[in-house]
Structure 1
Amino acid sequence: MPADAIRNVAFLGTSDSGKTTLLEALAFHFGALKRQGSVAEGTTVCDFSPESIAKKHSLQAAVVHIEGPFGQLNLVDTPGYPDFLADAVTAMGAAGAVVLTLAARNDSVPFHARRLWKLAGDAGCARAVVVTKADQENLDLERIVRSIREALGKSVVPFTLPNQTGAGFSSVHVAGDQDGPWHQMLVDAVVEADDALMERYLESGAVSDEELERHMPIAMEKGTLVPLFFVNPLKGIGVKELDEFMVKEFPTAGMEPPSRKLPAVAGGRPDERLVALAWKVTTDKHLGQITYLRVLQGSMKPDMQVVHPHGGKGMKLTGLSSIFGKELRPVAQAGPGAIVAVTRVEDLRVGDVIVSEGSAEPHAFPLPEPFNSLAVRPKSRNDEQKISGELHKIAKEDPTFRVRREPSTHEMICDGLSELHLHTCLARVEARGVGVETSIPRIAYQETVTGKAEGHYRHKKQTGGSGQFGEAYIRLYPNTRGGGFEFLDEVTGGAIPRQFIPAVEKGVVEQMQKGIIASSQVVDIKVELYDGKYHEVDSDEISFKISGARALQDAFLKARPILLEPIMEVEIAVPSRFFGDVSGDLNTRRGRILGMETDGDFQVIKANVPLAEMQGYATPLRSMTAGEGSFSMRFDHYDQVPSYLQEKLVAELGAHKEAVKEHA
């Protein structure tokens, strides 16, 4: 099917906006479903994963492929929780248009919805807005429309409006068809997208209905028009008007503008080399890895050989299918604009750009950095061999879930966007037969010194035959913050043979990695080796390595040691009415507020807060803000732990007594 007959639409919104129900109603109205499913009953075509059914919320993207006289529609349902943002972001790479779904409210648009709106605009997608739940009580239509236009921009123009809000909401009318302010706004938005049309309009003072309809897709594609619809998907009210507009006026895949920044595309024609973007990966126990692709250029056929995106020999694209929820339907060919899946191709990752010849760089989706962490370990010996592989499969499916080994604490760490995100991902691992235990990760504290000191250690061991002997004298100095470790060899007169000096340095470095007062890595010090002794027979490398390590311990405890803790740069978005509670709570967490910005009815707080104080922060933030607050954070710098906390931490980590014992 030609790209001009394909429309790819992603549905975005918050978790309470009814995206899945709306998409279900559209699929039913188009005749793709015999019966309209229910989120509450777990019978929708999009919420088919066990976790989505259990939580009654979409946790992964799903595609519904529909064909008709109008051509093809690929409707993409996305998660509403900000915790599962990855699939929403990557779906925008597959879609040419997005529908932002909002639950009706008199004031403000939720912060997460604004975030999605901006991401869609940055991606160059055409945009529309659907308002649901207008049948709730105490709603004011004028205030609903005004708050949306204030938050999302004056290009938002109502296309359908309800007969009334509340329980009496029973029908919609097309606002743009009537003479009045909405019709005039619609005309202004459409003519703004085309200079020639604007010129004719200014000369004649009118635009024909045919010209208006013909230019609506252009106006949406250029962003001058954002149509607004009111829909009650449960009762089917407004669904007909929305789907008719969608198949007539939404831009097609063939209209996508250069602002989409589609990777590796030349002309976008079906007779050019194949270019396809991998935007989602999932795993099925029967089909193996399933990769969702958006064809950007050229044509794809079953079992086609393509260039391996990670080098090496070519690869075969097996199981080419269209997507209908969890069902894959084999297709004979897919051209530009198509959204399809391939199966059992294990090497593909989200962001890979697949080409039939030549090469292409991977596409970087604007994904947030994961900032919540859990330490994980296998539940039993049987799980030890499988846990790493399964965790990395989840990381491939969700690019905001990451697995790493923390060298300073020797823990396996999983990073994600929230505790809910992490626990959901780990539940998938357990569902695949691998037991996982979790705990709060140890904070990667660092140790350093603030003063100068000298240290000394003589290692002497005699056990029948040759013994061990090595003695080292060092001076310890603080280095500049971030200056790292420096080792200075100032030995003169052959007090330590040259071949043993690297062993002293090696012993110092190994002790730095182990830590001295809190089992944490030692950083930013200078060690000067200035004297020592050796024995002609008994001295060896291990003796001087031990003496170097123990001499560092000796000097370190005399040089006013301190602990450093990671400080995060935190951004918190909360409704203005909760600002006082949240800022006061930050003060109790040793936070330092750096600045504030206003975004509509939301306050965005920027602050530096110790990581130790931010562990598990999502739960109290939701509690303080009635579930409306959200936050993100990233590492900023290390800073000194207050002395009153340092004593407590050293005692908790249980390293101080051991260090003192070794020093003695």
Structure 2
Amino acid sequence: MAAKGTEKVKNVVLVGQGGVGKTMLAEAMLHLTGRTTRLGGHAGTKPTLDYDGEEGERGFSISTAIAPIVWEGTRLNVLDAPCYPDFVGDAYAAMSACETAVFVVDAASGPGTITTRLWYAAEDLSLARALFVNRLDRPDADFDVAMAALQERFGTNLGAVTIPMGSGEAFSGIIDVVHMKARHLENGKPVVEDVPAEYADAAEVARAQLTELVVEADDEIMMKYLEGEEVTQEELEGLLAKAIRDRVFVPVFSGSCVREEGVISFMDAAVAWFPTMADFGRIPLVNGEQLDISEDDERPVVFAFKSLNDPQNGRLSFLKVLAGTITPGIELTNARTRKNERLGHLYQMCGKETTDVQSAAAGDIVVVPKLEAMTGDTLSVTGKVEAAEFRFPNSLYRIAIEPDARGTEGKLYAFLEKSADADPTLKVERDEDTGQTVISAIGEAQVSVLLDRLEDRAGITAHTVALKIPYRETIRRVASAQGRHKKQTGGAGQYGDCWLRIEPNPGAGYEFVDEVVGGHIPRGFIPAIDKGVQETMRDGVLAGYPMIDVKVAVYEGSYHPVDSNEMAFKTAARIGFQKAVEQAEPVLLEPMAHLRIT
């Protein structure tokens, strides 16, 4: 592994609206650093970071991919998170493992609803934030308009650290206003020049605005600045790192990922200014305590921020090392299950490609196969350390799933359970009232991908069906009826006779009372009457839905010493109960739900 330790590793998640070029930014970084020989995802080439075949077919990312970028002696673990609405849960998980969230924004369309949603999620996680205004080479691109929209949406503590030279077809590179240099690519090679005269005024204005924003990170320097003293270059760069780490300033970068313009400046800034995990000092735990960050700690702690069921490699767990150093073969205890788990292999991943590594220190991210750990689990030497939980978006889309072929229900449910274990935004349950297998997800596309994987990986085809409404039946008045069953077939016959009285029993469920006196019905047949009533209530009388809140009393009847038996009295009870319900004003009840407004 090229870089180890908290001071050499920075974790950055790329998020934003779907289709704005997040993956292309990661691909450009891989290409410019020599990790790949071509720019993936451009001019018909397949993206290096398309982990799942479904992504190519659907045209958007489904699962978080990792691009390990080594630049200027630092490794940037760049997590390319899916931000299509149905798969945004993966972005939440990826953010929980990173120190900085970079929001990629289209220069023409500005920030969208998903961008806004994730912006505040990053704020809740206390992440440093940055913005990359992409696609400045497009005809309708306008950096100034995009910048104004971003400041209106997210606040005035946003400042440009690079500005574009031209836009649309005239876009030719960027100006680094921190170092006051023009930067662009020429035949794929970086060129650094003095700022052209036509952009000098804009660059000076941007630098002045930037300086005014970042001096707020240091009271002493701010006082000097307010007294008219000039902020030195060294002070400015130090202020940038502090202001970003302390979340009082958000840097805004500009560029075109397809043309790879502005990407080198972005990587330089990430190495110089973005925080490491060690910069935050401590990690919050569920019990309100804090975990000290140290790679030298002999009691390593890891956090499983993502799980993946890979068709070739099986279960993969994406782990962030919170403390200590882990090596292949180490055993750690899961805080949730209290079970020991052995970390057999440690992998660094780049898209689908895996590379064995021999150790991972605090702050690093690795992938480990065949763990039982689920997303959100913490593993440690003692098993008593548990990292603070992060919240996934609510799974509000519910639909039932049925296999196309009978006899595959068990395999279907097992696959769905396994998928739900890996993705907390998926929930599977068997509805006891309707008998349906119900999936809860963020949206329809998530379920569609799940069904495709079900067919590809388990060989089971299935379809969605509407949820059945679990109606209930009950009665509104008292009624009585006789149930009499008599059957003679030449030998021993069947005879059962009972009188039933039914009445509403609101909120108390089912109640059965034996009021027979004088031995008109032998005690041994009373349970059969009870059972016959309950079976009829289960099947329903009015519309085939279970009946609730009914009190039933058997108070009279007769029997035959030879022909009476349990079956006869159970049948008689069904007949009598159905007749009584018809007279008791039966009604259909709709389900009630509790809504909490927060």
Q: 1:155 to 1:512 in 2, by over 3 A?
A: farther
Is the contact between residue 109 and residue 148 of structure 1 (CA under 8 Å) also seen in structure 2? yes
User: Structure 1 161/552 Cα, relative in aligned 2: closer, same or farther at 3 Å?
Assistant: farther
Structure 1 residue runs without a partner (length 5+): 569-634, 638-664
Q: Distance in 2 between matches of 1:484 and 1:14?
A: 52
Distance 1:471 1:339, change over 3 A: same
Q: Which residue of 1 aligns with 2:119?
A: 117
1:61/1:177 CA distance change after superposition, 3 Å: same
Match of 1:211 in 2: 235
Amino acid at match of 1:232: S
Q: Supply the RMSD in Å over aligned alpha carbons.
A: 3.1
**Cα separation, 2, equivalents of 1:498 and 1:152:** 77
Among 265, 271, 274, the residue aligned to 1:250: 274
Structure 1 counterpart of 2:443: 418
Distance change >3 Å, CA 260–CA 362, structure 1 → 2: closer
The alpha carbon displacement at 1:282 in A equals: 1.5
The reply to whether residue 236 of structure 1 matches residue 260 of structure 2 is yes
Show the 5 A alignment for 1:503-582.
Answer: 506-523=531-548, 525-529=549-553, 531-533=555-557, 535=559, 546=571, 549-565=574-590
Does the 8 Å contact 2:347/2:356 carry over to 1? yes
Which whole-Å deviations, capped at 9, do the CAs of 1:126-155 have from their partners, x for residues lacking one?
Answer: 111111122333444332211111112222
Q: Please state whether the residue corresponding to 1:407 is helix, strand or coil.
A: coil
Q: 1:489 aligns with which of 489, 494, 513?
A: 513
Q: For residue 473 of structure 1, what is the aligned residue in structure 2?
A: 500
- What is the CA–CA distance in structure 2 between the aligned matches of 1:192 and 1:510, rounded to whole Å? 74
Q: Is 1:154 the counterpart of 2:178 in the alignment? A: no
Asked if structure 2 preserves the Cα contact closer than 8 Å seen for 1:124 and 1:259, the reply is no
State the 1:396 CA deviation.
Answer: 2.2
Query: What is the identity percentage for the equivalent residue pairs of Structure 1 and Structure 2?
Result: 28
- State the structure with more CA Rg: 2
Shift of 1:512: 4.0
Contact conserved, 2:214 with 2:243, CA < 8 A, in 1? yes
Q: Quote the offset at 1:409 in angstroms.
A: 1.7
Give the aligned residue type for 1:401. Answer: L
Cα 1:186–1:512 shift into 2, 3 Å: farther
CA spacing shift, 1:308–1:262, aligned 2, 3 Å? closer
Distance verdict in 2 for CA 1:57–1:541, change over 3 Å: same
Q: TM-score, normalised by structure 1?
A: 0.77
* Residue pair 1:447, 1:517 contacting (<8 A) in 2 also: no
Residues 500/198 of structure 1: CA separation in 2 closer, same or farther (3 Å cut): farther
Q: Given the superposition, is the C-alpha separation of residues 534 and 90 from structure 1 closer, same or farther in structure 2, using an over 3 Å criterion?
A: farther
Alignment of 1:602-613 (within 5 A): none
Q: 1:407 aligns with which of 432, 451, 458?
A: 432
Secondary structure in structure 2 of the residue aligned to 1:135: coil
- The residue type equivalent to 1:57 in the other structure is F
Contact 1:386-1:434 at 8 Å conserved across structures: no
Partner of 1:105: 108
Q: Secondary structure at the match of 2:438?
A: strand
Q: Which structure shows the higher helix fraction?
A: 1
Query: Contact 1:5–1:253 at 8 Å: present in 2 too?
Result: no
Give, in whole Å, the separation in 2 of the partners of 1:91 and 1:26.
Answer: 19
For structure 2, the residue ranges without an aligned partner over 5 or more in a row are 181-202
Query: In 2 relative to 1, CA 466–410 (structure 1 residues): closer, same or farther, beyond 3 Å?
Result: same
44, 48, 51: which one aligns with 2:51: 48
Matches within 5 A, 1:27-66: 27-38=30-41, 41=44, 43-66=46-69
User: Deviation per CA, 1:173-213, whole angstroms, max 9, x where unpaired?
Assistant: 13456675543443343233344544554456443221221
The residue correspondences of 1:290-439 to structure 2 (distance < 5 A) are 290-311=316-337, 313-345=339-371, 347-361=372-386, 364-380=389-405, 383-439=408-464
Counterpart position of 2:191: none
Alignment coverage as a number of residue pairs: 565
TM-score scaled by length of structure 2: 0.85
State the secondary structure of the residue aligned to 1:131.
strand
Q: 1:516 to 1:222 in 2, by over 3 A?
A: farther
Distance of 1:186 and 1:557 partners within structure 2: 80
**Kept in 2: contact 1:374–1:438 (CA 8 A):** no
Residues 1:224 and 2:276 are matched in the alignment: no
> C-alpha distance in 2, partners of 1:543/1:75?
73
The residue that corresponds to 2:196 in the other structure is: none
Residue 105 to residue 550, structure 1, CA distance change in 2 (3 Å): farther
Q: Name the SS for the 2:502 alignment partner.
A: strand
1:191–1:197 CA contact under 8 A, matched in 2: yes
Query: What are the Cα deviations for residues 83-122 of structure 1, in whole angstroms up to 9, with x where unaligned?
Result: 111211100111111111111236x631111111111111
Partner SS state of residue 326, structure 2: coil
